[in-house]
C-alpha cells in the first residue's frame, strides 16, 4: 500500500529504479489546477491505493489470451460499509482499464491484438495532417507507418507490419503519486503511437483520479507536447463500457432532463453532439427508463470557453480551440468486442512546448443518482491551455550520485545529508521546456542523459512508398525512419524534471547554466534527435526559484 510516496517507475522492464524523495514527488505530480468541485464525503469511507496485484480479488472476465498481470499498475478502491464501494484499476500506461462496483466489471473483455490499449479510458492525441489516408483500402484506412495517433496506453500487438510487438508494450510510466489527504492518485507517462511509425511520440500524459465520495471520481487530464509538430485533437477521454453490462445510453439536455440516446455505431451520423448543446453529461445504463438501474455517468460540462474561442476564430485571431468540443458514443450491439464507445473529443490545437488541461467527472450509481450528481458537477468541468512560466514554477535540486557501475549519475535524491546540488530543474513543464530523462541501456547497464526519450531505441530506414519525386506525398516520406520503441533496448527510463532551450529562455531576467557546462551532466548527455547539452539551460544551485535578476 502506498501512502504519500512517489515512485520513479522505470519501464521498459517495469522494474523500480528507485524512490524519489517526497518533496520532489509532490512537485512533480502536483500539476493540476485546484478544483472547486464539492466534496460528497458524507458517509464513512476509505480511499485505498495498492500496487500489489491480487489475481483472485474481484475477478474480472477477460477475453482468451488476455493477461491482466501484464498491464496492472495499481488498485484505487473506495471502501465503505455505508455506501456503494468501487474499485478502479490503473494500468502501466496510465490507462483506466477496469471499473468494478455493484454492477460487476464495466470494462470490455479486450482483444488479443489490443489488450488494454483501445478499450480503456485514456487520452489520445493526434495531428490529423500527418496521416497518409488510403481510402482505396476502405473508409478511415491509413498507412500504419504514418500513424500519428499518440495513445496514453501503449502499442498494439502483432500488427501486419515489419515491426510490431509480440507482447504488450505499455507507455512508459514515469511518475506516480498518492496524496492520501486529498484522496487522489496521479500518474505520468511517455505516450506511444500504437504502431511503429515514422512520427515521434513526444508527448507526456498525466492523469489524476480523486475520490469525491458518493460514487464520484474527479479525473483531471494534462497533455504536454514537447515535440516538433502541433497536435490538433485530443480525446479527453476516449473510453467506454461493456455493452452487455450497460446496453443503453442516455444524454442530458440543456433543460436538465435526459433521454435515451443509443447509436448503433460511433460512425453513424448524429452520434456526435456538441457538448454545449447538452446538459453537460451522459451515461451508460442498464435501463434508460428506470432511475433505479445501475449506471456509469460521464460529466464533461457545457464547453465553457467555446463561445469566446469561436468569437476569436471568426475575428481571424484564433485561440487554442478550433471547434466545439463533442461527445460521441457508439453501441457495439453485443458484438464480439462487447464494447460501447464513450468519447469526449477536445477540438484544440496544442503547439509544441505547450500543455492542455481538461477536468471531467465519472459517477457510479443508479441512473437517478448519476443524474442528480451530474447536475451538481457539470459547472465544475473545465479545460484550457496551462502556462507554467519561468517566474512561478518550483525548482527541483539535482545531485550527482555514484552508481555501482562506477558512473556518476544525476539524481533527485541527495547521496548524503550534506550533499550540494549540481543544479536545479523545473518541476513542471514550463512553456517551451523539454523533459530531461535518465535512461539506462539494457545491453551495457550504462546510464545516459537526454531530452530524447527514444535515444537508445532502434530507428529503421523506411522505404518511401511514393518513390516518384513528382508525387505530392514524396517529400513527406523521404529519408524517414520508423521508431521501434518496444524492444527493451532501454532498460529503464525516469523523468528528472524540465529544462529550458537557450533560444526560449529569458536570460535577461533569470540566471542559467548550460548542461554542457556542468561536468557531472555533460559527460552523460547525448542529444539524440533533440537538442545538444550547450543548448539546454538549468538554474544554478541554491536559488529558491528560477533566479530572477534584479
- Residue 295 resides in a domain: yes
| Cβ–Cβ under 8 Å, residues 370 and 283 | yes
pLDDT given at position 494: 92
pLDDT given at position 55: 79
pLDDT given at position 28: 59
User: End of a domain among 369, 386, 403?
Assistant: 386
Grade residue 335 by pLDDT with cuts at 50, 70 and 90. low
Q: Are 160 and 97 part of one and the same domain?
A: yes
Q: What is the CATH number of the domain that holds 207?
A: 2.70.98
User: End of a domain among 386, 405, 424?
Assistant: 386
pLDDT given at position 293: 98
Residue 294, beta-bridge partner list = 366
pLDDT at 547 over 80: no
- Residue 180 resides in a domain: yes
Q: Are 360 and 444 part of one and the same domain?
A: no
User: Which residue segment(s) compose the domain that 230 sits in?
Assistant: 6-34+45-386
Grade residue 501 by pLDDT with cuts at 50, 70 and 90. very high
pLDDT given at position 1: 41
The answer to whether the pTM exceeds 0.85 is yes
Q: Are 322 and 451 part of one and the same domain?
A: no
Give residue-wise pLDDT tens across range 400-453: 999 988 899 999 989 999 999 999 999 999 999 999 999 999 999 999 999 999
- Residue 217 resides in a domain: yes
Q: Are 10 and 66 part of one and the same domain?
A: yes
Q: Are 406 and 346 part of one and the same domain?
A: no
Buried b / exposed e over 265-304, threshold 16 CB at 10 Å, is ebeeeebbbebbebbbbbbbbbbbeeeebbbbbbbbbbbb
Which among 176, 58, 168 has a CA at the least distance from the CA of 120? 168
Q: Cell numbers 529558491 label which residue?
A: 544
Q: Are 319 and 401 part of one and the same domain?
A: no
Grade residue 13 by pLDDT with cuts at 50, 70 and 90. very low
User: End of a domain among 386, 413, 436?
Assistant: 386
CB contact set of 280 (below 8 Å; sequence gap of 6+): 252, 299, 300, 301, 302, 374, 378, 379, 381
Q: What is the mean pLDDT of the chain?
A: 91
pLDDT given at position 411: 92
Q: Are 439 and 498 part of one and the same domain?
A: yes
Task: Give start and end residues of each alpha helix (H) in 366-454.
Answer: 367-377
User: Taking the alpha carbons of 48, 51, 54, 59 in that order, is the dihedral positive or negative?
Assistant: positive
pLDDT given at position 158: 83
Task: Give start and end residues of each alpha helix (H) in 34-125.
Answer: none
Q: Are 409 and 279 part of one and the same domain?
A: no
- Residue 135 resides in a domain: yes
Q: Are 326 and 403 part of one and the same domain?
A: no
pLDDT given at position 162: 83
Give residue-wise pLDDT tens across range 142-169: 899 999 999 999 999 988 888 999 999 9
Q: Look at the chain and report how many structural domains it folds into.
A: 2
Q: Are 495 and 354 part of one and the same domain?
A: no
- Residue 498 resides in a domain: yes
> Rounded CA gap, 214 and 455, in Å?
46
Regarding beta strands 96-101 and 86-91, do their DSSP bridges make them parallel or antiparallel, or are they unpaired? antiparallel
> Rounded CA gap, 415 and 422, in Å?
12
Q: Are 323 and 418 part of one and the same domain?
A: no
Grade residue 285 by pLDDT with cuts at 50, 70 and 90. very high
Q: Are 255 and 337 part of one and the same domain?
A: yes
pLDDT at 2 over 50: no
Amino acid at each position: 500500500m502506498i501512502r504519500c510516496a512517489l515512485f520513479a517507475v522505470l519501464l521498459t522492464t517495469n522494474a523500480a529504479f528507485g524512490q524519489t524523495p517526497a518533496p520532489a514527488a509532490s512537485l512533480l505530480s502536483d500539476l493540476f489546477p485546484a478544483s472547486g468541485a464539492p466534496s460528497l464525503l458524507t458517509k464513512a469511507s476509505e480511499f485505498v491505493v495498492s500496487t500489489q496485484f491480487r489475481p483472485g480479488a474481484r475477478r474480472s472476465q477477460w477475453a482468451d489470451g488476455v493477461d491482466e498481470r501484464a498491464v496492472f499498475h495499481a488498485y484505487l478502491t473506495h471502501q465503505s460499509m455505508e455506501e456503494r464501494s468501487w474499485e478502479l484499476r490503473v494500468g502501466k500506461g496510465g490507462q483506466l482499464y477496469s471499473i468494478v462496483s455493484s454492477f460487476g466489471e464495466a470494462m470490455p473483455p479486450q482483444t488479443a491484438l489490443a489488450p488494454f490499449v483501445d478499450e480503456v479510458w485514456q487520452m489520445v492525441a493526434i495531428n490529423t495532417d500527418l496521416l497518409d489516408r488510403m481510402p482505396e483500402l476502405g473508409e478511415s484506412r491509413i498507412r500504419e507507418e504514418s500513424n500519428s495517433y499518440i495513445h496514453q496506453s501503449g502499442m498494439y500487438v502483432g500488427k501486419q507490419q515489419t515491426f510490431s510487438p509480440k507482447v504488450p508494450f505499455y507507455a512508459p510510466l514515469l511518475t506516480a503519486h498518492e496524496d492520501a489527504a486529498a484522496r487522489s492518485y496521479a500518474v505520468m507517462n511517455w505516450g506511444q503511437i500504437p504502431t511503429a511509425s515514422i512520427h515521434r511520440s513526444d508527448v507526456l500524459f498525466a492523469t489524476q483520479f480523486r475520490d469525491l465520495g458518493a460514487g464520484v471520481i474527479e479525473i483531471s487530464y494534462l497533455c504536454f507536447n514537447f515535440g516538433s509538430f502541433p497536435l490538433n485533437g485530443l480525446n479527453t477521454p476516449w473510453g467506454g463500457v461493456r455493452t452487455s453490462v450497460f446496453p443503453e445510453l442516455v444524454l442530458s439536455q440543456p433543460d436538465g432532463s435526459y433521454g435515451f440516446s443509443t447509436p448503433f455505431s460511433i460512425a453513424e451520423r448524429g452520434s456526435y453532439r456538441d457538448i454545449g448543446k447538452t446538459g453537460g453529461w451522459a451515461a451508460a445504463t442498464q435501463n434508460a427508463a428506470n432511475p433505479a438501474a445501475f449506471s456509469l455517468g460521464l460529466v464533461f460540462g457545457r464547453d465553457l470557453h467555446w463561445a469566446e474561442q469561436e468569437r476569436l476564430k471568426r475575428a481571424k485571431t484564433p485561440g487554442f480551440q478550433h471547434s466545439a468540443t463533442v461527445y460521441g458514443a457508439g453501441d457495439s450491439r453485443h458484438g464480439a468486442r462487447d464494447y460501447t464507445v464513450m468519447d469526449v473529443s477536445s477540438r484544440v490545437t496544442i503547439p509544441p512546448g505547450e500543455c492542455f488541461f481538461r477536468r471531467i467527472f465519472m459517477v457510479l450509481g443508479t441512473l437517478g443518482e448519476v443524474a442528480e450528481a451530474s447536475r451538481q458537477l457539470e459547472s465544475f468541468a473545465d479545460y484550457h491551455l496551462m502556462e507554467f512560466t519561468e517566474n512561478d514554477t518550483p525548482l527541483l535540486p539535482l545531485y550527482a550520485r555514484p552508481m555501482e557501475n562506477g558512473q556518476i549519475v544525476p539524481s533527485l535524491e541527495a547521496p548524503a545529508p550534506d550533499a550540494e546540488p549540481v543544479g536545479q530543474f523545473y518541476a513542471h513543464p514550463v512553456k517551451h521546456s523539454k523533459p530531461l530523462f535518465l535512461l539506462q541501456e539494457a545491453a551495457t547497464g550504462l546510464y545516459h542523459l537526454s531530452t530524447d526519450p527514444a535515444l537508445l531505441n532502434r530507428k529503421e530506414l523506411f522505404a518511401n512508398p511514393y518513390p516518384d519525386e513528382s508525387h505530392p506525398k514524396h517529400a513527406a516520406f523521404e529519408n524517414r525512419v520508423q521508431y521501434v520503441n518496444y524492444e527493451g533496448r532501454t532498460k529503464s527510463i525516469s523523468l528528472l524534471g524540465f529544462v529550458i532551450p537557450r533560444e526560449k529562455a529569458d536570460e535577461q531576467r533569470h540566471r542559467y547554466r548550460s548542461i554542457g557546462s556542468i561536468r557531472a551532466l555533460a559527460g552523460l548527455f547525448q542529444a539524440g534527435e533533440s537538442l545538444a547539452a550547450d543548448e539546454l539551460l538549468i538554474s544554478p544551485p541554491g536559488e529558491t526559484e528560477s533566479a530572477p535578476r534584479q
